[in-house]
């Protein structure tokens, strides 16, 4: 098991699917990440009331942590049925059914977004090169707006994926490396992205 490390659900434990299908983000790396989201100037307006998307969700630790810390809603994308059942168990155990929506989908072929996410966390399996195609597909299906904050976890030795993102910072811990950026729309970038409200806007 792993646990929620901050917010109103601090200390609550999460179930993790057995086997090697899921690799939960290390607690120390998650702590460092959420400290930045709480205090860094570039993270404004922060988690309060945010829409969050947790992609390659696994146990849902990132999205559930965000809800614990004040996010309004979280959408979880996960394609493995057994993993999705464990995620649903975590949501139910924490009493977050009203704020969490679980989508069984391939992140590289996602459904249209109900609304773009303010904060999108992408945690694909290490070494498989899935970050770039997944984020490109998510952008094309409306999962980002111009001010979305994108967080990608990759292996420590992996190169940053080639994406139209303006990189802000990164953190390393153990085998993991977290990259944080915002979309660059327009020529050579993602499709023209809507503003934060979800209404279409100029790139």
Report the alpha-carbon distance of residue 134 to residue 169 in Å, rounded: 21
Displacement of CA 136 from its chain's centroid (Å): 14
Report the alpha-carbon distance of residue 16 to residue 11 in Å, rounded: 15
Identify whether the C-beta of residue 71 lies closer than 8 Å to the C-beta of residue 52. Answer: yes
Instruction: Kindly state whether residue 196 falls inside one of the protein's structural domains.
Output: no
Cα dihedral sign, 29-30-31-32: positive
Coil, strand or helix at 182? strand
Domain containing 138 equals 2-16+25-183
Task: Give 10-residue mean pLDDT values along the chain (203 residues).
Answer: 92 82 68 90 91 95 96 97 95 97 97 96 90 94 94 87 90 83 77 66 30
Number of folded domains that form the chain:
1
Identify whether the C-beta of residue 200 lies closer than 8 Å to the C-beta of residue 192. Answer: yes
In this structure, what CATH number is given to the domain that contains residue 8? 3.40.50.150
Displacement of CA 141 from its chain's centroid (Å): 16
Phi then psi for residue 37, to 5 deg, are: -65, -25
Instruction: Kindly state whether residue 192 falls inside one of the protein's structural domains.
Output: no
N-terminal to C-terminal alpha carbon distance within the chain: 43
Identify whether the C-beta of residue 124 lies closer than 8 Å to the C-beta of residue 151. Answer: no
Instruction: Kindly state whether residue 122 falls inside one of the protein's structural domains.
Output: yes
Q: Which two tokens stand for residue 138?
A: 């998510």
Instruction: Kindly state whether residue 84 falls inside one of the protein's structural domains.
Output: yes
Instruction: Kindly state whether residue 161 falls inside one of the protein's structural domains.
Output: yes
Instruction: Kindly state whether residue 199 falls inside one of the protein's structural domains.
Output: no
């Amino acid at each position: 098991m792993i646990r929620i490390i901050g917010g109103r659900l601090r200390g609550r434990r999460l179930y993790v699917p057995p086997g090697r299908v899921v690799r939960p983000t290390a607690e120390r790396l998650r702590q460092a990440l959420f400290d930045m989201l709480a205090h860094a100037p570039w993270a404004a307006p922060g988690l309060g009331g945010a829409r969050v998307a947790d992609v390659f969700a696994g146990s849902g630790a990132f999205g559930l942590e965000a809800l614990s810390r004040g996010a309004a809603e979280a959408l979880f994308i996960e394609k493995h049925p057994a993993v999705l059942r464990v995620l649903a168990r975590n949501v139910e155990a924490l009493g977050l059914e009203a704020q969490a929506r679980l989508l069984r989908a391939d992140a590289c072929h996602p459904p249209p977004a109900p609304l773009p996410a303010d904060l999108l966390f992408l945690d694909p399996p290490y070494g498989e090169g899935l970050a770039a195609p997944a984020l490109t597909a998510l952008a094309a299906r409306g999962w980002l707006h111009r001010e979305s904050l994108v967080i990608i976890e990759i292996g420590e030795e992996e190169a940053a994926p080639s994406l139209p993102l303006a990189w802000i910072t990164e953190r390393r811990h153990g085998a993991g490396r977290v990259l944080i950026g915002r979309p660059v729309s327009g020529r050579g970038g993602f499709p023209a992205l809507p503003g934060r409200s979800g209404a279409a806007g100029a790139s």
